[in-house]
Amino acid sequence: MYERHWGLSQPPFSGDIDPARYFANPIQDEALARLQFLVDQRRRLGLLTGVPGTGKTMLLSVLANRLASENRPCVRLNLTAVGPVEFPWLLAAALGLNPRENDQPVRLWRMIADRVTENRYQQIGTTFLLDDADQAQPNLMGSLLRLAQCDQSPTARLTLVLAAEPAGVLQLGSRLLELAELRIELEPWDEATTAGYLSAALAHGGGSGQIFEPRAAERIQQLCDGIPRRINHLADLALMAGAGRQQSRIDVNTVEAVYDELVGTHLEDAAV
């Protein structure tokens, strides 16, 4: 463990998706503001896109926390490998409807629609944040369309946000894409944002924000193509290597050595 060497109280580059560790920055703050706009303006469907590691899951988590703190109903699900039989049961459970194991889809869909309508009558919106929508079973797209259209009232208060990789958006189908009122694309971080993140993460971990030399932070951004997930992973490995070498700061040579020896082409596979 390298915390003692660097004077840290906790690992600064944790792999957990924790909204409390969200790093406010212009790129992701703009995307978050657009997501909030979708919900506040009761828009029916929005798309959040970005290559793996750009922070889609974190943004959905932050938005879900905000809505929960305001007592606004919100369902957040990951759709990886989810199919049309499992999907309505997961929705019903997340809405607090206590579905039974043997409930048929038709009953589950009625329960879901009734809850959305009930919320509307109470002037409350219902938000569904569905991550990795492009990783769902192909036959789930009809169910997503059904969810988006489950309240046909002109005063509907239903918002559906689908997160997907840009290359997977077409898998959602033309009918869903036609309903999308806003598409939000996450861009990689620039050098200033990366340097700010490294300092903020170290401070959150209880240490000095100056552990990484400026050139080292710049090189991390370059090697990771500005992808937050990769930046997080490479910075963590650099701290470990620097502690092993008893360094007082992380320099560019340490970053490059770690990248070449421990990471290389597998960096993109590191979990956030």
Q: What is the pLDDT of residues 187-220, one digit of tens each?
A: 999 999 999 999 999 999 998 778 999 999 999 9
Q: Is residue 207 part of a domain?
A: yes
Structural domain for 213, as ranges: 3-9+189-264
35 and 145: one domain?
yes
Look up the CATH number of the domain holding residue 226.
Answer: 1.10.8.60
Are residues 54 and 117 located together in one domain of the fold? yes
Q: Binning pLDDT at 50, 70 and 90, where does residue 14 land?
A: confident
What's the mean pLDDT in 262-267?
A: 60
In a domain, 18, yes or no: no
On whether both 178 and 198 belong to a single domain, the answer is: no
Report pLDDT digits (tens) over 115-163: 999 999 999 999 999 999 999 999 999 999 999 999 999 999 999 999 9
Give residue 264's pLDDT.
58
Mean pLDDT computed over every residue of the chain: 93
Q: Are 186 and 54 in contact (CB under 8 A)?
A: yes
Q: Using one digit for the tens of pLDDT, what is the confidence trace for 219-232?
A: 999 999 999 999 99
* CATH number of residue 37's parent domain: 3.40.50.300
User: What's the start-to-end Cα distance of the chain, in Å?
Assistant: 19
Q: Are 246 and 211 in contact (CB under 8 A)?
A: no
Are 79 and 109 contained in the same domain?
Answer: yes
Query: How many domains are contained in the chain?
Result: 2
- Angle 251-253-259 (CA atoms, 0-180°, nearest 5)? 110
> What is the residue-wise DSSP string for 200-261?
HHHHHTTS-TTSB-HHHHHHHHHHTTT-HHHHHHHHHHHHHHHHHTT-SSB-HHHHHHHIII
pTM of the model: 0.91
